[in-house]
Structure 1
Amino acid sequence: MQKEKLVLIGNGMAGMRTIEELLRLEPALYDITVFGAEPHPNYNRILLSPVLSGEKTIDEIMLNTRAWYDEHGITLHTGDPVTDIDRKRRIVKSRSGRELPYDRLLLATGSYPFMVPVPGVDLPGVMGYRDIADVDAMIAAARAHQQAVVIGGGLLGLEAAYGLQQQGMDVTVVHLLDTLMERQLDKPAAALLQASLESRGLRFLMQAQTAAIEGTDRVERVRFKDGSAVPADLVVMAVGIRPNIALAQAAGLYCERGIVVDDTMLTYDPRIYAIGECVQHRGQCYGLVAPLFEQAKVCANHLARLGYGRYQGSVTSTKLKVTGIDLFSAGNYQGGEGCEEILFQDPGAGVYKKLVIRDNKLDGAVLYGDTIDGAWFFQLMRQGTDISGLRENLLFGQAHLGDAGHGGQTQAAAMSDDMQVCDCNGVCKGEIVRAITSKGLFTLDDVKLHTKAAASCGSCTGLVEQLLASTLGSDYSAPEAKPLCKCTDYTHDQVRAAIREQHLTSIGAVLQALDWREPDGCHVCRPALNYYLLSAWPNETRDDGQSRFINERAHANIQKDGTYSVIPRIFGGETSPQQLRAIADAADKYQVRTVKITGGQRIDLLGLTKEQLPHIWKDLTDAGFVSGHAYGKALRTVKTCVGSEWCRFGVQNSTKMGIELEELTWGSWTPHKFKMAVSGCPRNCAEATIKDFGVVAIESGWELHVGGNGGVKVRATDVLCRVETPEQVKEYCGAFMQVYREEARYLERTAPWVERVGIAYVKKRVVEDEVGRKALYKRFLESQKLAQVDPWKERATGAEAHEFTSLRQVNA
């Protein structure tokens, strides 16, 4: 059967994303031909600014090489724009004289820069900023000339100005209004931005109206309405774009500001679709990439004859691609009647946050200086989430709402699969996570290669790293020597060393001694500092409960619906009828929605409200239970088999050993979660060889294992040693935990820690140095006296009465 012919007019990002989506859905449905006006294959137009600034090359921003087109059977005609569409005969004609029939036609003709209609606009040296040819011309001008004027203080104008300055030119930005990026920023944020750019050497003429561009053979100056002028060897117009609809209009397609399309991206001609900056949908034209990629998915859905995709418009967000400037804007950032505003402003630190709320929903946001929660705010806006329950901590970001497992990485871990991570390439979280798990990706470079996320402007690199960490758990280690957080240039190891060497015993002392940029720290550094202080000076440091995540403060795991789950500890998985009755009574009393047996041989009570937590814990502790720490950076579980007491293969009493280990170690704080297991024979039914600390019974005693992980990337343990007695098992376990606690980085599991320091080092500290081992074990036992304390004797009062005070004050 002969394939239908699909012709794409426009080899840009929107059109080619539609083709990519179509190939995923129905790769063999069409014979595809692409016409492009430029002489290049498909490239990432929004990365022209890094090319102009010299941070990237043309080759680095190519999205699809010529070989890619060949591999997918696509005919590509570059440098040959279509000049005529014969809708009656269904034929397109190109500038070179090619004629090609079509069954389906896709228009993606994009836009062109608007040139201010003033005298001299046609002089050599006056140009727009839209494609590779413009960038090449600007770079060439920078090599031969010194003075540049950029007309337009919007997003594109500022990126052009920064790029030209990086090329060595003296740059003046001319803007008609009194604030920069007025379509994306309010006045306080715009003032911070202008001050930052001025400190980098850019000059600004605000409220300046261009009257003429003057020169003889080439541009020499820009003159303004008030009679003043500035010298100019190069003038870049960046005052906006216009949809490129000339071809569609000549073909008789219905156009207003753009080519009018419906929710399926279909024009008034049922054979012709249109997409991208050239279209008008529900009265709106879009000039940003994210909406175009959303349109592409819908258009591909219909070209593939699936027929259910609908495009209903987009909420847009903005990021400025200027190195060192963090800026995010989305939605109705100005507010207005019926809106409320939540503000945070610290001009000294260069931080400004503004959230606009309407009807208990986030309506807009402006972030400057600290944009880590921009993607989350954007998702709340797009989904119309009711934020009334989040309002108290909303401004301070997602990390203050709960622990998704990785501290500063909670934002990415809690993102929904359809949340867009990479705006440059339109890559969502779900695509990245699927690539990580299905293709075995473990590094940032792997993700860049397979998904293109973080491969462009780099502004989403942090989020991608967080996704690696939240997906792989202990299998992902952040790159070495990175600062602990944005508040400091010190690394984890340097901060830890300073705490020991300077005998710092409080977070405030650390912040002062190390000249922290933020006087109170942030959600990334405070939990780490709290842990480092506790591990260094357990008898002198007061555990700061407010520097712990909500799960650790409340001693329960927050669930996706906002309720909590409670897991009482069942030592070694061995329970009794009395314990089971107590759990059943609590489940009845508090109307627990789900009671589940966990993989760690415990019972999970799900669906509790935050207000119920102190009461159910009071009842459970009265019945003799302590917390299972399923929420904590602490010992989680000690998994056991029945061992020699019941099993015909068992050679040691593994259940008893597991209970003793759990009684020894519960309540201990650790850099990350810590899991153990005890198997009663080498058949290893308790899976001890994929745990942080594993014990396998042998005829002569016990074989000890360390550094295992059962996550996405399974890591088998390293054998530590063999011992003969249960007391030795406990001593070696406590010593191993203590050296891990004292030396690993916060949020570093034992698997990457052992790989980083080497098993030989661990053996030297725990096995070969007997004196050192006993000293480690002694310190561990001393710290446990502080960790295993009954909170009901030390409960918080007043404002903190609704929460437990800290992990140290945990049920006993």
Structure 2
Amino acid sequence: MAKEKLVVIGNGMAGVRCVEEIIQHDPDRFSISIFGSEKYLNYNRILLSSVLQGNSSIEQLTIRQSDWYARNHINVFKNETVLDIDTARKTINTNKNRIVPYDKLIIATGSTPFVPSLPGGSKEGILTFRTIEDCRRIMNESEKGKKAAVIGGGLLGLEAAQGLIQWGMDIHVVHSAERIMNKQLDDKAAKLLQNSLEAQGMNFLLNRETERFEGRERVEKLIFTDGLELVADLVIIAAGVTPNSKLAKSSGLKTNRGILVNDFMQTSNSAIYAVGECAEHRGRIYGLVKPLYEQGKILAAHICGKDVPPYQGSILSSKLKISGTNVFSAGNLFEKGFTQAMTLYDEDEKTYKKIVYKHNKIAGFLLVGDLNGHERLMDMMEKKQKFSDEEKLLLLNSSKEEYPISSMAKTGIICSCNSVTKKAIIEAVSANGLETAEEVKKCTKASGTCGGCKPLVEELLSYIKSDDFHEDIEPGTFCSCTNLSEEEVIEEIQLRGLVSINEVFAVLGWRNQNGCSFCVSALHYILRMAVPGYEGDGQSVFYEDTHNAVKEEDGTFTIIPQINGSEVSGGLLRKIGEAAEQYSIPEIALSHDGRILLKGIIQENLPAIWETLNTKLIPIPIDNAVRVLLLAGFKGCGCTQDKSTNMAVQLQEKTEYLLSPNRLEIGIAACAHGKNSMAGHDIEVKVHGQEWEIHICGTEGNQLRGEPLAIASTVEETEEMLCSLVQYFRESARYQETLKEWTDRMGIIHLREVVFDLELRSILLRRLEKDSSDRQRRLHVTKREPVFINESI
């Protein structure tokens, strides 16, 4: 079968990233040709300012060398510009009279610098800052002059100005707005940054509009609209960019400011795609690296015929790359209506933190001076996590650690541009003995694009080498259907907004499109935990928590009444006896954990039996349920057992609707004489005088084993500790991981810190209550209509 012809117009970062993704999806699908107007191979435009500042060389900018193109059989045409697209004939025409046919076409022409049309604008010494050639000219011109003006106080303008300072020039930044980086910073942050940059030798002229340039052959001064003048023999224009959409427009494609694309990056012609700074998606044009790479992933999957969720837009983030300054801004800081902003300013440390919330979710944040925790905030914003007021204060007042990255989850993203996780870097360092950030970049691509995460990579390296590092990266995948770990599967489900098992299979590239017995069950559990309202896949037989009967292999059904605290009322026993006699229930049995099982029921008798029992039934599979047992003392014991009984009943009521990663049993001693009953449970509560001892144990053996977790002085405190522990287990344990296995992995000291921290405990309790309430609203536990599952107890 002949390969399809793919032509890519643009040899920049967005276009080549698309090709990389396409090769990963289907390396033999296309015969690929790439055209670039510059004479260079694919290079990192983001690091041009680092070259100007003396931190990189032009040679280090190259991303893909010629051997990569050859190895992947890609025809690359440097220094050749596409002039025309003939959509009818499906050909492109270049300035070298080359006509090339295509089946699919990707336009990745980027943008061009915005240059205001002003008198004197063509004089020598007035330059833009966009390409390698621009960078070379600026460095050459810097040797000729002494005074420079940079028009534009955004990211690029400030980074260019810092580079000129390194060349010994007197610098003025001219900006039309009231504050620098006005699209990313508020007044307080901008002033702090300005003060820091002024201390490094940068001067600012704000609220200034340039009217004209004066000089003979070469620029000598700028004249502003208010009549003021600024002497300069070099002017850098960094006042924004314009999408390069002229080629698309002249070829009949629909354009606005950029080339209009749908959610799969297709233009108005379905055979032609557009990506990067030239593309306009839902009225927005993205000029930062991470959104361009996210677009490239969607485009590549779609052009290869893969099922892929639509592109929904990107959250923008900016980090200023100037030595000695720390500024990070992300999201929407200036949205009006229904927003709440929380700020923290330390005048002595010259640090400023601002987090903006909308509907109790992070809408945007900015950090100046101290960037600790920015990756965690970014992760929370992308996941649209909700926060209470107390949690917001905890985020704002998070304390400094020697290695702040130690609190970052292993699945947290270190390098946003290339989606490199903390876990991936730790694994690479461990496997390859990496010592430097440069070695990490070559091995993982972390910091290989914009370079903004390089300090984070260096911090992680220092942390790995320190005595404080105790993070084990456990090998293994979620199951044999995928190469992803369980943490990575959960991360992808949350980031991509996946809401069904079929979506997970399609989007995450499952090898077995029907899954295996483990991953189907595990994914249902994960989706129930992660997706509000999820109750299963219409084509799946795994519907445990919406059924009140379990189908056995012989075709009969089992019903399991809910019993709180191991106490069975006489009324329920009478109803069970009546139902058994009236409907000939052949077997009533006890499970190993004391549950009553009504077995052997034929289907047509189910509604009548439910009517007779008229009681709560187990709403979730018993292998994923929380079970509370009251453990009796010695026969004839005269101790009062009211407190223990009430605690067992209340705990069961609080947890009966909750899913758990594995069966979780809590044994509560009825009194101080219940010692011999304490073996075989996950959590065990013993009475000791007026106090309650909480132990975490194994689930086998006939003696109490494990470690004491906590001692509580009241029933209320005991209940709070137990419920917060249950919720923490639900949120952080792996599917089918036992509580003991989880404890060994998390560490008993860490769990003690969690249950004794009043603020954390309060947060976990609210989440548990909300989860229980949400599930209770969805599950009508009594007298439900029968829909059955094919899985026996």
Same fold flag (TM > 0.5): yes
Counterpart of 2:130 in structure 1: which amino acid? R
The verdict on how the C-alpha distance between 1:339 and 1:309 changes in structure 2, with shifts beyond 3 A counting, is closer
**Secondary structure of the residue that 2:220 maps to in structure 1?**
strand
Tell me the distance in 2 between the aligned counterparts of 1:377 and 1:198: 29
Q: CA deviation at 1:152?
A: 0.8
Say whether the 8 Å CA contact 2:107–2:274 is kept in structure 1: yes
Tell me the distance in 1 between the aligned counterparts of 2:447 and 2:131: 22
Tell me the distance in 2 between the aligned counterparts of 1:800 and 1:432: 30
2:445 corresponds to 1:452: yes
In structure 1, the partner of 2:128 is 128
Q: CA deviation at 1:134?
A: 0.7
Say whether the 8 Å CA contact 2:315–2:330 is kept in structure 1: yes
Q: CA deviation at 1:153?
A: 0.8
Work out which of the residue numbers 679, 696, 704 in structure 2 matches 1:580: 679
Q: CA deviation at 1:384?
A: 1.0
Tell me the distance in 2 between the aligned counterparts of 1:612 and 1:450: 54
C-alpha root-mean-square deviation of aligned residues, in Å? 4.5
Tell me the distance in 2 between the aligned counterparts of 1:267 and 1:796: 57
Q: CA deviation at 1:444?
A: 3.9
The verdict on how the C-alpha distance between 1:21 and 1:143 changes in structure 2, with shifts beyond 3 A counting, is same
Tell me the distance in 1 between the aligned counterparts of 2:693 and 2:278: 58
In structure 1, the partner of 2:387 is 387
The verdict on how the C-alpha distance between 1:178 and 1:618 changes in structure 2, with shifts beyond 3 A counting, is closer
**Secondary structure of the residue that 2:353 maps to in structure 1?**
strand
In structure 2, the partner of 1:679 is none
Q: How does 1:370-769 map to 2 (within 5 A)?
A: 370-388=370-388, 390-397=391-398, 408-412=404-408, 414=409, 416=411, 419=413, 421-423=414-416, 425=418, 427-429=420-422, 432=425, 435=428, 444-455=437-448, 458-465=451-458, 580=679, 585-586=684-685, 603=706, 615=718
Tell me the distance in 2 between the aligned counterparts of 1:184 and 1:47: 20
**Secondary structure of the residue that 2:315 maps to in structure 1?**
coil
The verdict on how the C-alpha distance between 1:593 and 1:214 changes in structure 2, with shifts beyond 3 A counting, is farther
Q: CA deviation at 1:255?
A: 0.4
Tell me the distance in 2 between the aligned counterparts of 1:105 and 1:59: 30
Tell me the distance in 1 between the aligned counterparts of 2:241 and 2:95: 24
Q: CA deviation at 1:247?
A: 0.5
2:236 corresponds to 1:243: no
**Secondary structure of the residue that 1:144 maps to in structure 2?**
coil
Counterpart of 2:27 in structure 1: which amino acid? P
Tell me the distance in 2 between the aligned counterparts of 1:583 and 1:294: 44
In structure 2, the partner of 1:67 is 67
Tell me the distance in 2 between the aligned counterparts of 1:445 and 1:476: 21
In structure 2, the partner of 1:214 is 214
Length, aligned pairs only: 539
The verdict on how the C-alpha distance between 1:462 and 1:592 changes in structure 2, with shifts beyond 3 A counting, is farther
In structure 2, the partner of 1:286 is 286
The verdict on how the C-alpha distance between 1:87 and 1:432 changes in structure 2, with shifts beyond 3 A counting, is farther
Tell me the distance in 1 between the aligned counterparts of 2:76 and 2:159: 31
Further displaced range: 16-25 or 450-459? 450-459
Tell me the distance in 2 between the aligned counterparts of 1:463 and 1:202: 27
Percent identity among equivalent residues? 37
Note the alpha carbon deviations across 1:726-766, whole angstroms, 9 max, x for none: xxxxxxxxxxxxxxxxxxxxx9xxxxxxxxxxxxxxxxxxx
The verdict on how the C-alpha distance between 1:567 and 1:464 changes in structure 2, with shifts beyond 3 A counting, is farther
Tell me the distance in 2 between the aligned counterparts of 1:567 and 1:66: 63
**Secondary structure of the residue that 2:685 maps to in structure 1?**
helix
In structure 1, the partner of 2:21 is 21
Say whether the 8 Å CA contact 2:665–2:682 is kept in structure 1: no
The verdict on how the C-alpha distance between 1:455 and 1:605 changes in structure 2, with shifts beyond 3 A counting, is farther
**Secondary structure of the residue that 1:448 maps to in structure 2?**
helix
Tell me the distance in 1 between the aligned counterparts of 2:311 and 2:354: 29
In structure 2, the partner of 1:102 is 102
Note the alpha carbon deviations across 1:440-473, whole angstroms, 9 max, x for none: 7576443211122134554323433565688899
Tell me the distance in 1 between the aligned counterparts of 2:363 and 2:759: 31
The verdict on how the C-alpha distance between 1:116 and 1:471 changes in structure 2, with shifts beyond 3 A counting, is same
In structure 1, the partner of 2:367 is 367
Q: CA deviation at 1:258?
A: 0.5
Tell me the distance in 1 between the aligned counterparts of 2:111 and 2:760: 57
In structure 2, the partner of 1:511 is none
**Secondary structure of the residue that 1:277 maps to in structure 2?**
helix
**Secondary structure of the residue that 1:390 maps to in structure 2?**
helix
Say whether the 8 Å CA contact 1:127–1:235 is kept in structure 2: yes
The verdict on how the C-alpha distance between 1:203 and 1:298 changes in structure 2, with shifts beyond 3 A counting, is same
Say whether the 8 Å CA contact 2:128–2:236 is kept in structure 1: yes
**Secondary structure of the residue that 1:343 maps to in structure 2?**
strand
Counterpart of 1:391 in structure 2: which amino acid? K
Tell me the distance in 1 between the aligned counterparts of 2:378 and 2:23: 29
Structure 1 portions without partners, runs of 5+: 401-405, 479-559, 569-575, 620-629, 632-638, 640-671, 676-746, 748-789, 804-812
Q: CA deviation at 1:74?
A: 1.0
Task: Output the TM-score relative to the length of structure 1.
Answer: 0.60
Note the alpha carbon deviations across 1:295-350, whole angstroms, 9 max, x for none: 01101111221132421101101100111111011112235432211111123311
The verdict on how the C-alpha distance between 1:40 and 1:348 changes in structure 2, with shifts beyond 3 A counting, is same
In structure 2, the partner of 1:340 is 340
Tell me the distance in 2 between the aligned counterparts of 1:323 and 1:109: 31
In structure 2, the partner of 1:685 is none
The verdict on how the C-alpha distance between 1:596 and 1:465 changes in structure 2, with shifts beyond 3 A counting, is farther
Counterpart of 2:246 in structure 1: which amino acid? A
Tell me the distance in 1 between the aligned counterparts of 2:84 and 2:721: 79
Structure 2 portions without partners, runs of 5+: 472-658, 668-674, 723-731, 734-740, 764-793
In structure 2, the partner of 1:548 is none
Say whether the 8 Å CA contact 1:596–1:605 is kept in structure 2: no
Tell me the distance in 2 between the aligned counterparts of 1:439 and 1:801: 40
Tell me the distance in 1 between the aligned counterparts of 2:86 and 2:379: 43
The verdict on how the C-alpha distance between 1:118 and 1:326 changes in structure 2, with shifts beyond 3 A counting, is same
Q: How does 1:193-232 map to 2 (within 5 A)?
A: 193-232=193-232
Q: CA deviation at 1:376?
A: 1.6
Counterpart of 1:392 in structure 2: which amino acid? L
Counterpart of 1:396 in structure 2: which amino acid? N
Tell me the distance in 1 between the aligned counterparts of 2:290 and 2:83: 28
In structure 2, the partner of 1:8 is 8
Tell me the distance in 1 between the aligned counterparts of 2:686 and 2:469: 38
The verdict on how the C-alpha distance between 1:185 and 1:138 changes in structure 2, with shifts beyond 3 A counting, is same
The verdict on how the C-alpha distance between 1:580 and 1:233 changes in structure 2, with shifts beyond 3 A counting, is same
Tell me the distance in 1 between the aligned counterparts of 2:369 and 2:438: 26
Tell me the distance in 1 between the aligned counterparts of 2:144 and 2:403: 50
Further displaced range: 181-190 or 225-234? 225-234
Say whether the 8 Å CA contact 1:335–1:356 is kept in structure 2: no
Tell me the distance in 1 between the aligned counterparts of 2:34 and 2:103: 14
Tell me the distance in 2 between the aligned counterparts of 1:150 and 1:212: 14
**Secondary structure of the residue that 1:18 maps to in structure 2?**
helix
Tell me the distance in 2 between the aligned counterparts of 1:104 and 1:197: 48
Say whether the 8 Å CA contact 1:566–1:606 is kept in structure 2: no
In structure 2, the partner of 1:166 is 166
Tell me the distance in 1 between the aligned counterparts of 2:700 and 2:63: 48
In structure 2, the partner of 1:356 is 356
The verdict on how the C-alpha distance between 1:46 and 1:149 changes in structure 2, with shifts beyond 3 A counting, is same
The verdict on how the C-alpha distance between 1:173 and 1:561 changes in structure 2, with shifts beyond 3 A counting, is farther
Tell me the distance in 2 between the aligned counterparts of 1:17 and 1:584: 51
Task: Output the TM-score relative to the length of structure 2.
Answer: 0.61
Tell me the distance in 1 between the aligned counterparts of 2:220 and 2:206: 21
**Secondary structure of the residue that 1:366 maps to in structure 2?**
strand
Q: CA deviation at 1:604?
A: 8.4
